[in-house]
Amino acid sequence: MTKIAELYVGDTLNDIQLDPVSRIDLIKYAGASGDFNPIHTIDEEAKKAGLPGIIAHGMWTMGNLAKLFTPFYEEGFIQEYAIRFRGMVFLNDVVTLKAELKERDGDVLKFDVLAVNQDEKPVLKGQVVYKVA
Amino acid sequence: MKEMIGKASTKVKNTVERGAVKKFAEAVGDMHPIYLDEEVGKQSRFGQNIAPPTFARVFDYGVIEGLNLPNKGLIHGEQIYQYERPLLVGEDVYCYAKVSDYYEKAGAMGNMGFIVLENNGEDKDGNAVFTSKSIVILSEAYRKVQQV
């Protein structure tokens, strides 16, 4: 595996494609995070809220995306992680997680991160600042 | 709502519990040994297992008096974490919430409200371990129902 500190601007981390989103994924995340907003787990509640069906917690997708960086833990840590939620993730959607190094400033690496669905539509976008030290 | 700016909760002591970290790592599909395997944690640069970067979502941040926003109908717009270092499994973190801003803007969902909520964590000496901000959107429909 390439070291994160050896990446050049424009290099990308290996994409991760998640399995199709299942209800049990969201029930597990609700339990693990304590976010029991029913639009993420109960169809009727999602419909009452004007949605076609249950949607993933934005934080579920954000939590998943961080794992692009986990293999590099011996080199440093995520210092800043900023996300804008751009689109909803529905059951059976296939989400792909991406990161590209945009800028290097000494031991601070700035990545653009992105999660897209099966139609290449962004569901979240943001930055990760990785501190190597 | 504007009058809530600056209001904060009382700090709540939280522990980064091993079982909670494991459950969380499972839930985001990040079952890396640095979170789970005690030996890997000990041998690592952190000397201990750590928690995934968004684990701070799990903590109790206390109650901001006067802020009553049922989560039904709220839209999470943005989330920003800043870490001084990773959270260590087993450590105590003192957490509080604060309303750092509120503003209104006309948009796709009528006259929307935007509330900026901070969720911060400190060590026992009061040093920041992490700060975070959530920008939460209150649609016009939500504001009518909740009268905010």
The verdict on residue B103 lying in a domain is yes
The total number of structural domains that make up chain B: 1
Tens of pLDDT, residue by residue over A51-79, are 999 999 999 999 999 999 999 999 999 99
CB pairs under 8 A between A and B: 107
Q: B27 and A25: CB-CB below 8 Å?
A: yes
- Give the residue from chain B lying closest to A36, CA to CA: B71
| Tokens found for residue B135 | 């920008």
User: Given this model, what pLDDT does residue B48 score?
Assistant: 97
For the record, the structure tokens of B46 come out as: 């952190």
- Asked if B32's CB is within 8 angstroms of A67's CB, the reply is yes
So what's the pLDDT on residue A50?
87
Instruction: Assess if residue B93 is contained within a domain.
Output: yes
- Please determine, looking at this structure, whether the domain spanning A4-20+58-132 carries the CATH number 3.20.20.70: no
Chain A interface test: which of B12, B14, B28 (most A C-beta within 10 Å)? B28
Q: Does the residue B121 lie in any domain?
A: yes
Residue B39 lies inside a defined structural domain of this protein: no
Q: What is the dihedral of CA A104, A108, A112, A115, to 10 degrees?
A: 140
Partner-chain contact B83 A78, CB within 8 Å: yes
Which neighbouring-strand residues pair with A126?
A83, A113
Cα A36–B17–B41 angle (5° rounding)? 125
Domain coordinates of chain A in residue numbers? Answer: 4-20+58-132
Q: Give the whole-angstrom CA distance, residue A25 versus residue A27.
A: 6
Cβ atoms B80, B40 nearer than 8 A:
no
User: What phi and psi, each to the nearest 5 degrees, are found at residue A43?
Assistant: -55, -50
What does each of the 148 residues of chain B score in pLDDT, given as a tens digit? 888 999 999 999 999 999 999 999 999 999 999 999 999 999 999 999 999 999 999 999 999 999 988 877 788 899 999 999 999 999 999 999 999 999 999 877 788 999 999 999 999 999 999 999 999 999 888 888 888 8
Query: Does the residue B69 lie in any domain?
Result: yes
Domain CATH for B99: 3.10.129.10
Mutate to test the interface with A, among B30, B85, B134 (most CBs of A within 10 A): B30
Residue B102 lies in a domain: yes
- pLDDT of the residue at B72: 76
Range of the domain at B92: 2-15+60-146
